Amino acid sequence: METIDKIKQQIAENPILIFMKGSPKLPSCGFSSQASQALMACGEKFAYVDILQNPDIRAELPGYANWPTFPQLWVEGELIGGCDIIMEMYQQGELQPLIKEVAAKHSEQ
């Protein structure tokens, strides 16, 4: 499978997905740590891809997403943004309802 197809499949199969360095429990960079902590604080399950374990995805995703940095949060196939945007949304109370709504919608299916 082509890397881009793999990325598209991961985004399609996971309503809440973060591409990050490391894992939510063991992040490998400060930005990934902040972003995954904000997501975990929303209290819903989410998927993640460790780009350090997937160098092909790490190389291809910035071009596909038109977003140069990691982490990247994707919700229902749409790029939400990176660490700054995730943290801003969390602090303004915008991230929590978005994540809860998407998680509820997909748990019913």
* pLDDT tens digits for range 68-80: 999 999 999 999 9
**Are 7 and 60 spatial neighbours (Cβ–Cβ below 8 Å)?**
yes
Q: How confident is the model at residue 59 (pLDDT cuts 50, 70, 90)?
A: very high
The pair of structure tokens assigned to 89 is 């949304």
Quote the strand ranges of 1-109, DSSP E.
16-20, 47-50, 72-75, 78-81
**Predicted TM-score (pTM) of this structure:** 0.96
With bands split at pLDDT 50, 70 and 90, how would you rate the model's confidence at 109? Answer: low
> Taking Cα atoms as reference points, which of 105, 95, 97 lies closest to residue 34?
95
Mean pLDDT of 45-55: 97
In sequence order, the 6+-apart residues with CB closer than 8 A to the CB of 105 are 15
Q: What is the CATH number of the domain that holds 98?
A: 3.40.30.10
With tokens 């374990």, the residue in question is: 53
Per the annotation, does 21 bind a ligand?
yes
56 is in an annotated binding site: no
Bridge-based pairing state of the strands 72-75 and 78-81: antiparallel
**Number of domains composing the chain:** 1
- Spatial distance between the Cα atoms of 100 and 22, rounded to a whole number of angstroms: 24
Give yes or no for residue 108 having a pLDDT over 80. no
Share of the chain above pLDDT 90, in %: 96
Residue 41 pLDDT > 90, yes or no? yes
Could you tell me the residue range of the domain that residue 34 belongs to? Answer: 3-107
Q: Is 83 labelled a binding residue?
A: yes
